[in-house]
Every structure is written in structure tokens, then in C-alpha cells.
Structure 1
């Protein structure tokens, strides 16, 4: 009688490291300037890892500083938009652009800030299916149009935001956030930027 063959040993799937997730070479941490090393150390301390978007920009630390300063001003600076509203804008832009990196990272941020995993998923899939207040829905409609058909923006689009309760300064901040994430999405697509593994299971 022929002996039954032993079942092949199952090997665990190879885990992609953060370094392998980047498609462009980045300098070793100890080769970065002191300010960048300190910034990355703060990321490690606060969130436990350095986001791949920052690692991707670190090949040119002037560009990294410019990117980080713009991000911090738009997403953390003084504004009539809440942090959650700004993250929702980032997700809606990224959903339209099918940006895997930003959908994963900012979807996690929506889940974290709202405390509502379902809202995070709705923002990623289709914000129109979410039960949103009229004010933020008007903003997200503006966000979607500015991302999909920027040449068709007219005064009526801005007026709709004013009627919903947004100030002209708020409209500027909405537009600036939309513009930043359209740029960021395109950079992520250009180099096939992959999100850090930590984002996927966070705040669910």
C-alpha cells in the first residue's frame, strides 16, 4: 500500500515591511538631518511608527518640511472646520481618486476621531449614503465637484456653502484641503505608495 504523502508544511505569508512598501529609495534614519530625525522620533513616540508618506518625502528633506508644514497648517491649524470635518474631506477626495494610501490612513483617522467605524467606512465607500448634517453634506458635495470637475466651479457652488453656514474663510480652508489631497493622492499614485500596516486594523 502506498504511503500517504505528508501534507506540505504551511508557511506563514511573508509580511511586507514598511521599508519594502516604499517604491523609491529613502535614506537611513541616521543619515537624516537632526530636525528630521527628531520629527520621526516624535512620530514613533506618538503613534508608534513613521507614516510611509513622510518616509517617501525624506529623500529630499526640504520637500518633506514643506509637505509637513502645509499638512500641519491645513489639518491642525486654526480653522472653522473641525479636525473630523477636515479628515472627512481628505477621505472623500481620496475616494474619488481611488488613492489606497490616503483612504487607508485618513479612513483610520475618521474612525478614531468620530469613534464610529461605520462612518469611516461610509466616507471611504460613498459619503452620500451617510447620515450627515446638512452643513457638512454641502461641504462634501463641494469637495466632490472640485475634485471631479474643477473647471465647472461657479459662484453658485460657493453660495451653496454660504447658505449652509460656511464663511468665506471656511470656503478657502475647504478648497485648500481639497487641493492638498488631490496633490497628495497623485504623488501617492505616481510612486505606488503603500499605507503602513498599522492603519488597516486601527480604531475598528
Structure 2
């Protein structure tokens, strides 16, 4: 049960957006840029970074959501997402993505946990400065999103199908389109 009366039974961050619509657009705009904007990392890889950080933060709603969004955009689907969650070092992903996930995990522990060696290792595997930048920002943003969702004890559905159904819409329409459709416009 949420810590505050949200006035909505929408799960996770969606309930929070309904409660305070003024926050919905900028937070969704950030997610849209980071997870769907132009990048040399695929949308699936960026969603995988978001899901991985959310798993490290033990945020069930955000992990389940972004795991479904990643799975819908990666050929290996949820099998790969679960492998990365268990141990990215043994998961069948590129050395570059492993290095970026190490950076994301360092950010999750604390921004100053990212070491020169982490960045050098990512560069050695072919990561660009933009990819390193975006990995750090995805990890930092998802620490915020996770704390927002869990700090107010939002609802997290148990049924994986509820997340998979939304994944199809995120993949096809994006974060901002669904926001506009939901009517979560700022209050006057």
C-alpha cells in the first residue's frame, strides 16, 4: 500500500505521475532521450542497463517493467535479461556491454565508485564517450526512478504479463506518446 493517497490504482511510477502530473513530462522526456533517442547502443541494450540497475536497487516494479521492455527489443528476450541480472560477466553479451554494465553497477553504488580503470576498460572494448556518458546517466536516472517508486511504496503487479503488455506499447510508441495518451498533463 502506497505511503500516500495517490488517487489512482495505477502501478509504480504511473501512479506517481497521475498524482503529480507536473513531474510526468520531464521524467518521461528524460527516459525517452536516454532509452529511445539516437545512440550507437541499441534500445534493447539501454533498457537492459536500466533493468540491471533496477535489479541492483531491488526495485521490483522498475526491474519488471524495463526487463520486459528490454526483452521485447532483444533477440534473446527475457532469457538474456535474466542471465544479465544473475551475472553479467557470464551472460552472452558483448565485452563492451559487460564493461558498460560494470560502470552502471559502480554508479549504482555511488557516483564516485566509477574508476578511471572502469572507463578505460570500456574504451578498450570500443565504448565511445557518448556510450559511457549515457550509461552513467541511465544508471543515475534509474537510481532516482527506483527510489521514487520504492520511497512511496507504489504498487508492483506480480503478473509478468502486465509488464509485457505495456512493453509492446513502449517499443512501438515510446514514453512520451503513452504519457500524452494517459492524460497526465500538468495541472494548471
Q: Residue in 1 aligned with 2:112?
A: 151
RCO greater where, 1 or 2, for CA within 8 Å and sep 6 or more?
2
Between structure 1 and structure 2, the one with the greater Rg is: 1
| 1:103 and 2:41 matched | no
The within-5 A match list for 1:58-137 is 58-115=18-75, 116-137=77-98
Displacement of 1:27: 4.7
Unaligned 5+ segments in structure 2 are 166-188
Structure 1: which 4+ aligned runs deviate by more than 6 Å? none
Unaligned 5+ segments in structure 1 are 1-20, 29-49
Residues 11, 155 of structure 2: 8 Å contact kept: no
Residues 75, 86 of structure 1: 8 Å contact kept: yes
- Count of equivalent residues: 163
- Aligned-partner SS, 2:89: helix
- RMSD over aligned CA atoms reads 2.4
**Alpha-carbon separation, structure 2, partners of 1:170 and 1:111:** 20
Displacement of 1:133: 1.3
- Aligned-partner SS, 1:176: helix
TM-score by length of 1: 0.70
What do residues 32-77 of structure 1 show as CA deviations (whole Å, max 9, x unaligned)? xxxxxxxxxxxxxxxxxx7641231222221111111111111111
Q: Aligned to 2:99, which of 138, 142, 165?
A: 138
**Alpha-carbon separation, structure 2, partners of 1:76 and 1:92:** 17
**Alpha-carbon separation, structure 2, partners of 1:110 and 1:90:** 9
Displacement of 1:151: 2.0
**Alpha-carbon separation, structure 2, partners of 1:149 and 1:183:** 12
Displacement of 1:176: 0.9
| 1:25 and 2:28 matched | no
**Alpha-carbon separation, structure 2, partners of 1:84 and 1:152:** 25
Q: Residue in 2 aligned with 1:38?
A: none
**Alpha-carbon separation, structure 2, partners of 1:56 and 1:144:** 26
Residues 99, 122 of structure 2: 8 Å contact kept: yes
- Aligned-partner SS, 1:128: coil
**Alpha-carbon separation, structure 2, partners of 1:118 and 1:70:** 27
